[in-house]
Amino acid sequence: MSEAARRRLAVLGSPISHSLSPSIHRAAYRVLGLDWSYGSADVTGESLARYVGTRDSSWRGLSLTMPLKRDILPLLDSRDELVDLVGAANTVLWDADGSLRGFNTDVYGVERSFRDAGVDALTLVHVLGAGATAASVIAGVARLGVTEAQVLARTPAKAADLVVLGRVLGVTVTVIPWAGSLTGRPDAVISTVPGGESLPEFSREIRCSATLFDVAYDPWPSDLARSWSDAGGSDAGGSGAGGTDAGGAVISGLDLLVNQAVGQIRIFVNADPTIELPDEAAVIGAMREALTP
User: DSSP class of residue 277?
Assistant: P
Q: Same domain for 136 and 271?
A: no
Rounded to a whole number of angstroms, the distance between the first and last alpha carbons of the chain is 38
Q: Same domain for 75 and 163?
A: no
Q: Same domain for 227 and 269?
A: no
Active site amino acids: 69
* pLDDT for residue 2: 62
**What residues form DSSP beta bridges with 42?**
13
CA dist., res. 72 & res. 77, Å (int)? 11
Name 47's Cβ contacts closer than 8 Å, sequence gap at least 6: none
Q: Same domain for 119 and 185?
A: yes
- The tens digit of pLDDT for each residue in 116-138 reads 999 999 999 999 999 889 999 99
User: What is the domain-level CATH number for residue 56?
Assistant: 3.40.50.10860
* pLDDT for residue 245: 39
CA dist., res. 169 & res. 56, Å (int)? 39
**What residues form DSSP beta bridges with 9?**
38, 61
Q: Same domain for 158 and 224?
A: yes
Domain around 84? 3-105+257-290
User: What is the domain-level CATH number for residue 125?
Assistant: 3.40.50.720
Q: Same domain for 148 and 172?
A: yes
* pLDDT for residue 234: 60
DSSP 3-state of 243: coil
Phi, psi of 183 (to 5 degrees): -125, 160
**Contact assessment for residue 277 and residue 266, using Cβ atoms and an 8 Å cutoff:** yes
Residue 242 confidence (pLDDT) above 90: no
Rama region for 105: left / alpha / beta (φ>0; ψ in -120 to 50; rest): alpha
pTM: 0.93
DSSP 3-state of 151: strand
How many helices (H) and strands (E) the chain has is answered by 11, 13
CA dist., res. 178 & res. 218, Å (int)? 23
Mean pLDDT, the chain, whole residue set: 93
CA dist., res. 89 & res. 105, Å (int)? 8
CA dist., res. 244 & res. 44, Å (int)? 43
Among the ranges given (15-19, 203-207, 247-251), the one the predictor scored with the smallest mean pLDDT = 247-251
* pLDDT for residue 237: 52
| 262-290 average pLDDT score | 98
Question: What is the signed CA dihedral for 143, 94, 192, 74, rounded to 10 degrees?
Answer: -100
The structural domain count of the chain equals 2
User: DSSP class of residue 149?
Assistant: E
| 4-30 average pLDDT score | 95
The closest alpha carbon to 149, from 177, 119, 170, belongs to: 170
